[in-house]
Amino acid sequence: MARKKQTERSSHSTNTKAYIEHAGEVIDQEITSTLEKNYMPYAMSVIVSRAIPEIDGFKPSHRKLLYTMYKMGLLSGARTKSANVVGSTMKLNPHGDMAIYETLVRLSRGNEALLHPYVDSKGNFGKAYSRDMAFAASRYTEVKLDPICQELFRDIDKDTVDFVDNYDNKLKEPTLLPVTFPSILVNANTGIAVGMASSICPFNLEEVCNTTIELMKHPNHEISTTLTAPDFPGGGQIIYNAAEMDKIYRTGRGSFKVRARWHYDKSCNCIEITEIPPSTTTEAILDKVVDMIKSNKLREISDMRDETDLSGLKLAIDLKRGVDPDTLMQKLYRFTPLEDSFSCNFNVLIGGTPKVMGVRELLQEWIAFRQMCVKRRVYFDLNKKKEKLHLLEGLKKILLDIDKAIRIIRETESEEEVVPNLMIAFGIDEVQAEYVAEIKLRHINKEYILKRTEEVGALGEEISEMESILDDPKKINRIIIDELKKVIKNYAQPRKSLLLMQEDVQSFTEESAVENYPVNLFFSREGYFKKITPQSYRMSSEHDLKEGDEILQHVEGNNTDNLLFFTDKGQVYKTKASEFEDTKASVLGDFIPAKLGMDEGESAVYMAVTPDFVGYMLFFFENGKVAKVNLNAYETKTNRKKLVNAYSTKEKLSAALCLREDGKVLMTASNGRMLILPTGLLQAKATKDQQGIQVMKLTKGSVVSEATIYEEGTLEDDHRYMAKELPSRGDFLKMAQV
């Protein structure tokens, strides 16, 4: 006995050793082989069995859940606890209860994620438009199938679709649902697989059904005439671009913009937002607005709050006095998720193969699928009718001599010989004889048999009609069209999303949102900037400056002007006057290097002010060269705040000037010579860091020390200083005009 146990242990040890052979070893293997054996099965499972919807409009998780509810009898009657549904669904769907319940939540009416919900719900199911509004546990909520689900399961028990075994081969489940309308386009469906994704926007049920009907009648039907645009359960406003929408209809790919809907309550100076785009949430909108307020990019709002309640979504925005609500909403559309893009990717599994299709091709695939369902249903009914007719024909033969049939049954000694004796006596087959033998005693009378045999003629006509349907595609199409019309009659609802023509949409611009008024702009030697209104400057014009500081520039401009601050490192920082608060002369102002985030040790040396980037920048270098650069060279489409190589740094900069048009500039050298330069002699270039051309001839040891805009009459006999050709020496000052 001991030897036997030892032998068993030895055998078990040998098996274990064989099982873990090569464990811990690194084996060289081709990467393509590893991907094919390990990764590809996973990828295909995600694509085919999880993330991509099929032509009936459902992913496997949706289909298993709804079919479970159908088999539970939830298409009619009272609701049941969601936990019951989740538990029963596990028989078909091998996933955890929370994954199944989340699927149930999204399909529910309470969640408001679908245009036509499939689940009639009671309790807290959260909201699709809220990130933080959590749904209640499954033991607290109740569900049943919504009435529209009658169109999902109609005739499912008549062999209209294929059934397969579930994961443990104990139950059967449908591979597709025999939907009577194109649900693939009616309710939104998104999914991310491996290497591909699907994003199908919802369309209005009535428009989809009408489009399908027209497409069946006229294969070249223009889709856009009956299918206006997508329609979202949360409403909103779709910015309609005919070319982009046509691309989506044609290719199944593209995007369009959706805006929130709002109205202005004048009594409380408040904007109320009641519908938002489907791709965002109320919390995301609030977070973005808060960020803009903190960064000082949004000054028009005094308060914003979420007032969503049982009556529906509502975001309230309290405005400051004098704020135009239309202009503010344009700004919010531009910088917050109140306007967002919805990307379309109509990727659907067709026969187990993912395929991106346009609306026409997608509807054609659905029509072909529905035609097959109707054919299978008619064929199923046809066989049932034929079976019944066959039985009744046998019963009709019995009518000729009922007494004979009774006598045969009564006189037959064994039960097993009853059917053969009837077959021989009346010339009927086994199935007919079995049917006759099973007739109840109370039914063995002429009246009953005559009523049954009268059905033979009606059954013959029905069978003939069914056979003609199977042979005529037009009759099948007529059945589908009639079913679509019934769906429209029973379940159609008005559009929820409004359309805005793109040409009528007002786009936000910085200028339109900023109040424009005259301002005085001051820039000091130490880099301090002040923006003062004329009224404030008239009341007090005495500047408060740091010790040793002085005002270098004073420009009268407007609040919407662009400001360019050139630095000693050859860079320029762009901003707008509106980015600065109105102030007074009695304050120091904003320190530009800190305000604009300049590099460490970098100082601003010149401020250029321009409303439209028209004009020139002149850069004067100590060696007498001058560079003339078009001001529009500093204008950028991407609103970059910092530009490098704003001017040449190979020579030290003496001065910089911004001119709207050509004029005269007075250059002064360190030795006292002066030169009046007509700027028209210089050719403007787009190259910002050009070294310029020699304008002033300098004696050894002298440099250009200053350059200012020259005003006529400032110098007596100013023709003596005028540059007639380049370069010029200029002249020494003899007498200045007092």
Contact predicate 710/676, CB 8 Å: yes
Phi, psi values for residue 695, rounded to 5°: -110, -40
Angle formed by the axes of helices 97-107 and 82-89, nearest 10°: 120
Sign of the C-alpha dihedral computed for residues 152, 157, 158 and 161 taken in this order: positive
Among candidate residues 686, 685, 674, the one with its CA nearest the CA of residue 718: 674
Contact predicate 271/305, CB 8 Å: no
- Report how far residue 636's alpha carbon sits from residue 264's, in angstroms, rounded to the nearest whole number: 36
Secondary structure (3-state) at 300: coil
How is residue 650 annotated by DSSP?
S
- Report how far residue 598's alpha carbon sits from residue 350's, in angstroms, rounded to the nearest whole number: 58
Q: Which residues contact 694 (CB under 8 A, 6 or more apart)?
A: 623, 624, 625, 726, 727
Contact predicate 470/378, CB 8 Å: yes
- 3-state SS of 82-121 is HHHHHHHHCCCCCCCHHHHHHHHHHHECCCCCCCCCCEEE
Q: Which residues contact 612 (CB under 8 A, 6 or more apart)?
A: none
Element at 521 (helix H, strand E)? strand 518-524
First to last CA, the chain: 132
Contact predicate 153/75, CB 8 Å: yes
In this structure, the strands spanning 189-192 and 172-174 are: unpaired
**H and E: helices and strands count for the chain:** 21, 33
Among candidate residues 727, 718, 722, 651, the one with its CA nearest the CA of residue 689: 651
Which active-site residues does the annotation give? Answer: 140
In this structure, the strands spanning 498-501 and 237-240 are: parallel
Among candidate residues 280, 277, 255, the one with its CA nearest the CA of residue 344: 255
- Report how far residue 498's alpha carbon sits from residue 486's, in angstroms, rounded to the nearest whole number: 26
